[in-house]
Amino acid sequence: MAEIDFITHYDSRSPVSEAYRAIRTNLQFAGAGKQLKTLVFTSAIPGEGKSTTVANLAIAMGQDDKKILLIDCDMRKPVVHRRFGLLNRGLSNCFAEDLPLKEVIQADVFPNLDVVTSGPVPPNPAELLGSKKMEALLQEAAETYDYVFLDMPPVLAVTDAALMSSRVDGTVIILGSGDIGPDEGKQAKSLLEKVHANILGVILNKVPQHHKSGYYYYYYYDENHNKKRKRR
């Protein structure tokens, strides 16, 4: 478990950790009076720092005394079990062995943070995510936790993130500064809008350290999907 991957835990007073707390606050108030419990996190392409961002945001949520479940829904190229140093018995096992979610939850990985890894890579991830079983697992999680974070594959690579975005309370897009062009970011947003995803905003990470405002930009959308920017 590398300290650099979990800066919100190992260096909670750093500017980056403060940026995560600012994003945490934005998400907590994004529902305009309605709590958003189930959230998809996706990126446009691989390598934008999505899983590290989701993990740190989940840790930051736990530090605010919220009970968090992080589920690795990338059953194609899973990384969460390696990042956290966990046994990879997880989501796909629920389908293969007809298990309830509680059977594969790894508890207290960090304070107030439980994790479900992806499990072994199945032959049909999209079919599993779109199944009634997945709907039941998500409902089970929402009844137990304050927030359920779904770490999804990149939306431009496969359909999984768009599929799940139509079934959850909100979606956050994570983009790596310098990793993609504006067209790819717009295309990712467009694909999610086609499934009527509730896009809560965009986290732009990998912002160069010399930026005085910090490492992260957070874009959010009002009810009319007009883009506003908060710099952190």
Read off the tokens for 3: 């300290």
- Looking at residue 159, its pLDDT comes to 94
DSSP-assigned letter for residue 166: T
- Looking at residue 205, its pLDDT comes to 81
Cβ distance 225 to 199 under 8 Å?
yes
Q: Which of 98-107, 110-119, 123-132, 206-215 has the lowest mean pLDDT?
A: 206-215
Identify the residue whose tokens are 């990042």. 83
Is the alpha carbon torsion for 139, 42, 164, 227 positive or negative? positive
Identify the residue whose tokens are 């899973």. 78
Chain centre distance of CA 71: 8
Identify the residue whose tokens are 């929402």. 142
pLDDT band at residue 209, thresholds of 50, 70 and 90?
A: low
Query: For residue 44, which of 151, 155, 166 has the smallest C-alpha distance?
Result: 155
pLDDT band at residue 221, thresholds of 50, 70 and 90?
A: very low
Domain total of the chain: 1
Domain span at residue 41 reads 3-231
Residue 19 has pLDDT above 70, yes or no: yes
Q: Which of 3-7, 73-77, 104-108, 225-229 has the lowest mean pLDDT?
A: 225-229
- Helix, strand or coil for residue 68? strand
Please calculate the CA angle 139-145-148 and round it to the nearest 5 degrees. Answer: 70
User: CATH number for the domain including 92?
Assistant: 3.40.50.300
The answer to whether the pTM exceeds 0.95 is no
Per-residue pLDDT tens digits for 155-168: 999 999 999 999 99
- Residue 223 backbone dihedrals phi, psi, to 5 degrees: -60, -25
- Helix, strand or coil for residue 52? helix
